[in-house]
Structures are given as C-alpha cells and as structure tokens.
Structure 1
Amino acid sequence: MWPNDWPSSATAIATSVDVAVTAAHAADEPGFVAATADLAELPADQVMAVLSAIVRELLETAHPDGLTGDDVRAVLEAVVRRAAAWHSRLDATAVVSVLTGALGIDDPDEPETFRTNPQPAAVLLIEYLADLSDTPPRQPIQRAINEIARAETVEMP
C-alpha cells in the first residue's frame, strides 16, 4: 500500500488522509467524520504539513497557468457547495483559512484561530481539487510525505 520504509506515523497519516478523501468523494458523512476524527488523533503539525502540501500540489495541477483571485473564489464556492450537500458540520470559514494558508496568503502576524479542527476542510479541498485535476489522491499524498521526509533529512550547512 504505502512504502515500507516510511515511519509508522507517516503511514498512519497517509492512510487516514486517503480514507477521509475517499469518504468525502463518496459523500459519506459518517465515514468522513470517523476518518477525520482518526486524523485528529495524529500529530496535528505533521498532519497539517501533509495536508497543506497536498492542497498546494493539487492547486498547481488544477491551475497550471497560475491561480487568479477568480480561481480561488471558484474553488472556495465549489468546495462549500459540494460539501454542504452532504456534510452537515461544514465550516466554510475553515475552508477559507486552509486555502489561504496553503497559498501562503494568510496573515503571519495573526494567530491561527479555527472554530473547528481545520483538517476536515483541508480534506474537502483535496477531494475537490483531486477530482478537478483528475489526479488519484494517493499520488499527491505519497509525494507530500516523501517531500517532507526528504526536507527533514537535509542537513542545514
């Protein structure tokens, strides 16, 4: 399934993200809630690093010529509309925060304040962007974890 040389935490994150994205794609609210609850049990900083990397990659894949303000608005509207049809606990503010954070356009001086866990919003963005770009979600999940692992092993001079 995932590379054997990954640490158990990386495998747990990859598996939980994959299960959550699959549940979102199926509009399976109980499955999505359970999968994102599993994600919430993992180290939040590691999970958000992986989720943000996946969102960034999929944004680049879905918008290879660059992302305009209209594109960002269209992504936000599509994710919220799509998820609102089946996810009763949707936090649209978290979707905005996760997207702007992944793009690096959030205010660095303002502390991150989420009314709810931001991970479900990130998963909803991943599901939509993977579908939009016709990218199997497992590929960017694996690339994100591999890139983070590579970056952590590079020694600073």
Structure 2
Amino acid sequence: MTESWRHLPAPARPIAAAATAAVDAVRAGDAAELDDATDRLAGLDPAQTGLILGTVVRLLLEDGHPDGLTADDVRAALASCVRSWPAADPQVVLWLLAGALGVLDEDGAPAPKPDALARQSAVLIADLLSGRPAAPWLTAALAEIERTQLND
C-alpha cells in the first residue's frame, strides 16, 4: 500500500515517501528497492532530509526511553541496529545517532556521503520502529519541526 502524503507540506512529501519506501525495503530485504529509495532520498535537499529523518530518530529514541536516554541506551541502539541488519554501517549509524541527539562535533570528521546517510537512516529507523509503521513517526516529526519553527 502506498501512503498518501497530501497532508504534509509539499517539500516534505518526497522525503516522507522515499523514507517510507526505504524503511519498507530494509524490512523486506529488498536491495533493489532500497537502492532506489535511498537514491531518491540522497537526491533531495540534504538539510531538509537530515532534519526530518534526524527528528524521527530522536522521537523514536525518546519514545523508547521516556525516563531519559543514557550513553548505554545509545550504545544499545547502535548494537541492536548493527546486529539486526546486515546493511548497517556502525560508523554511519553512530554518526546519525549523534546527529539526532545534537551531539555531533561539527569540526570533526566530514559527514558521510548523502547516499550512505540515506541508506543508514532507513536501516536505523527500521530498527527503532520495531515493526511499527513509519508514517505516524514521519508525521510527528514534521509537526514538531513546524512547532519549533513557529516558536523560534
């Protein structure tokens, strides 16, 4: 079933569609579909894509740890993702976790390439979703981004 994203702002629709397709491809083990979806994600505005997917990751982490997130929780999230998904790249997944939590050292190593970020975001989100649908989390992320932008 293809999700309708008409309720989202126009710039967010292709990101939501490609992210959902990528997560579904990870879950199905469909390498060709994952390649297609991550190519689409990587071709979109990296700032918008990173903000949306990073917010999804942060919301999922917060949901799984309502009493607060510890370094051990982050390590466990990384280990779960790498153990569960053969396509997981530990260094990129760690970079994504750090970015989602706002603890990236901007002066450190350069960011991974957009295609690696897109693929590993899908892998990480698939793991954090634990079988739940992606659509509500994408919608919640966009609502939070909108709220934040309106209040700034």
Q: Give the TM-score category using the shorter length.
A: 0.7 to 0.9
**Partner of 1:99 in structure 2?**
97
**Partner of 1:80 in structure 2?**
82
Summarize the Cα distance change of 1:62–1:155 in structure 2 as closer, same or farther, 3 Å threshold. Answer: closer
**Partner of 1:138 in structure 2?**
135
| Deviation per residue, 1:64-104 (Å, 9 max, x gap) | 122222211111111112221xx3xx432111101011112
Residue type matched to 2:94 in 1?
V
Percent identity, please.
36
**Partner of 2:52 in structure 1?**
50
**Partner of 1:128 in structure 2?**
127
Compute the TM-score of the two structures, normalised by the length of structure 2.
0.85
Summarize the Cα distance change of 1:125–1:32 in structure 2 as closer, same or farther, 3 Å threshold. Answer: same
Instruction: Please identify, of 33-42 and 66-75, the stretch whose mean Cα deviation from structure 2 is larger.
Output: 66-75
1:118 partner SS: helix
Following superposition, the deviation at residue 113 of structure 1 comes to 2.6
Structure 1: how far apart are the matches of 2:12 and 2:143?
9
Aligned Cα root-mean-square deviation (Å): 2.0
Q: Where in structure 1 are there 5+ consecutive unaligned residues?
A: none
